Chains A and B, each alone.
Chain A
Amino acid sequence: ELKVEQNPLFLSMQEGKNYTIYCNYSTTSDRLYWYRQDPGKSLESLFVLLSNGAVKQEGRLMASLDTKARLSTLHITAAVHDLSATYFCAVDSGGGADGLTFGKGTHLIIQP
């Protein structure tokens, strides 16, 4: 059974600081996703990582994938309050139409 573990599950940080969220998964996968969820809202796709060594950046967020270590990271640079949200990583091991297996999410609070 595929397992996806995120850490930390809760993170409170100050604006301007850098931090990294980690996502480990238990079986071979060629697709890893990062989603953002604001309170009471849907999930917004942030990144899709499709190969070993993939790195994607959007604004202050950068995601990377190491398939050999079964590890993805979401790095936040110079955090701002608007990035406060819950961040989920998810893995698709089916290579097709299977559903995603999600981590438990990282609840991120960025304080002024």
Chain B
Amino acid sequence: DTAVSQTPKYLVTQMGNDKSIKCEQNLGHDTMYWYKQDSKKFLKIMFSYNNKELIINETVPNRFSPKSPDKAHLNLHINSLELGDSAVYFCASSQPGGVGTDTQYFGPGTRLTVL
């Protein structure tokens, strides 16, 4: 069984469009995250959600909005896509606070290409 899953795996779209990426985890974790990996493979945290509450937002444009319908899901909605949004987006989850249990588990990634 897949622990953290994302859909779609690939997303190709035009500038100015709005798109969403879905993420689900079946690990029972309380916290979920979105990371962006750019073309140079650099990974940067975008958001984390803990029990449906936004914890951090690292200078991400407000065109990006995380939405969590429940503890197992954290979707990423992007408005007015720009060329610079092209990247691989990873969802992750963890159970913070417990020794040995706070490893972040990553989903397979969604490769977004904005034309």
Contact = CB atoms under 8 A, between A and B. Distances in A.
Interface of A: 31, 33, 35, 37, 41-45, 48, 50, 86, 88, 90, 92, 96-102, 104-105, 107
Interface in B23-51: 30-31, 33, 35, 40-48, 50
A57 to B, nearest CB: 16
B102 A48 contact: yes
A86 B58 CA distance: 24
A97 B103 contact: no
A97 B106 CA distance: 15
Interface string B7-31: 0000000000000000000000011
B45 A99 contact: yes
Size band of the interface chain B makes with A: 20 to 34
Contacts of A42: 90, 106-109
Interface in B62-94: 90, 94
A45 B43 contact: no
A42 B90 CA distance: 8
Contacts of A104: 40-42
A97 B55 contact: yes
